[in-house]
Chain A
């Protein structure tokens, strides 16, 4: 082709980034080409031509890489990309300090590392700080000594349990408040963001109960009307009530005997299944032994 030498000359001015399979010609000005083009059709042709040049440059560079042979064909490893593509999403916003963090900063409280095991005075043994078999577990308290301020009839163990439940609820409320504060400025942690989008927000349009469709209502009415002892046969019909659309039968079978016995539909069905079965299993290899035996007999 006469165009090939021209294409090769133009390709040398392109910058090819094989990592992203991109070719870029810095010296080409689309605006100038658009101004030079007489009609839209010419502009289109010009764009196609330039696009072809760039694609050719990418292909040339790609095929210039040393291939390694594989079972499926030659494989090349692309070099790492040189062009840095911009971020798709915005940088994550820094989350606001939680209520506790503010308090700790104000008071000057620093975090301290806890050991995995602690000495439990109650059972006089080394136990975990949390989880199964932990320090200060409510289970291990055998006796609670009665104080003077205790009323008779009050269960101290139940009291302990209630207090713990209240503490847990309070903590959960605080956690949600912190999340709401973060959500207000758009700094929800990413895993919570997804869960929040799954549920419709209360009070919005998405949260309204969906209207049932006419077909759903009809099917439910049909089911309800036949859910009686006689299948709804002897019930009095209301004024204007239509008979149910699927009266009892929900499966349709071929007729038992049609014409002489087997109807055409049944014949067709059987033939179809038989043919597909035979076709699936028709690749039985030639029985060489049998064939050679037959040939020998002929001789």
Chain B
């Protein structure tokens, strides 16, 4: 709280990002965890909540006649443009937010103060909800070829791996230790996924310390052990997910990639996914496109192309598809790495698992997948998401890209996921929110040191509580689809408006099919209950029931999804000008009634600024009633 000098500022305007509609006027509050804006000009109380941890950047723009503008960009792609009357107030809010949004000490993260009034027991049970051992059991491990070893229990092998790892039985302790010395940061090859049908495995590691000529017998034995754990295939793939040039450049630093001559029966392959810096810049460009005011179609498509974002998404997807095909069609095991094996490798391995195994497309399975491939294997969430004040060059949207790949798959295979888009967005929000312990720190060891299992809550039980709103009404069940083979031609990838323009409700479909179907689902349950209740009351009934549609009332209003709908800025920018140079909405010739209409027209009425991001005020968001003009 010591950072908050001005907890409340009145007469603050909130500008609309796209149109010149009249700005909202209200009061801004700073709490220990949130920035809250209460719109006083709206008829219904409208609140905008921004979690401090969600703030990516705060900018003070040059003073205008209206006041001092404060522009906030959030990590969940919410953009808020405030104008504060007094320069001094603005500055105080600005400096407070700078400190609040990027704490220096881990103990200041929200998760350590978040108290959902849950018993200690329940909190502990929450952390036990996801047990990776169970997932390995599901794959049939331990078996003749693979074992779960505690070789890393004191982080001797690798301090960014979890204590328990899965390695080939044939690889003894010496092999493991030897291999770890030859792999960047000791990240040895371990099992990510075993495809039970044919014993082909996906394994992951970091780059070898091969330099120009170095080799390591234990590492070669390790790969041999992995290959031989799949007797059905005479060879295995080694996939380096970096562009070849990057990998070659690494050799000069004593790192690099596997020499095919030194390893028996491997097929080595590069898949050019760019590094974290390219991805960060790409996202930056994409967001600039998304934020452009009244862009033409051409501006937008050119910007989308120049950002390279969809090209990168496609590269990640292609790599995932390659892995899945190698395992399923070629029955070959695959070892995947990039540089450190915690960014691209995590994306690609988790995507391949998702393509191969329908379990990972369920609620539980998706949580397991994230825990396993991302959290346990040391994806540096804290650095990549910029949880703490740190090196901005470490920040990169690696996990966002994975989430987007899942969304792209949902577009192609709408019946194969148990959960819907909102589940993805919710997870994405919490990766940045620091409200739960799961994504804090950079690896298992660090989370232990931070005592997150003692001091914080796990996200997953909270998500499961909201299962009803996150489920996919079109899901055909666990057994309906096995492996997915997505189309990866460029036209199969869409711009994800629901993510990058998520808070610009005006751009989204005004009627939501998902809402409609979800209400169908809940209605269905109610009706089934009704029917069985009524049937019980009619014990003497014989003969078939009339099933013809009868004069029951139209679908209850509850099933109607609210439609947010007002015209937008169709006149374009700048407003069309007549030949004589006057603006179209020329005031002089207008009658009073026209004048009033004009105001309505130009401010386009409340397009329902559903700016509130955080679930806390979700009820507010659903407030948009159908607008009858």
A and B: real partners?
Answer: no
Q: Which residues of A contact B (CB under 8 A)?
A: none
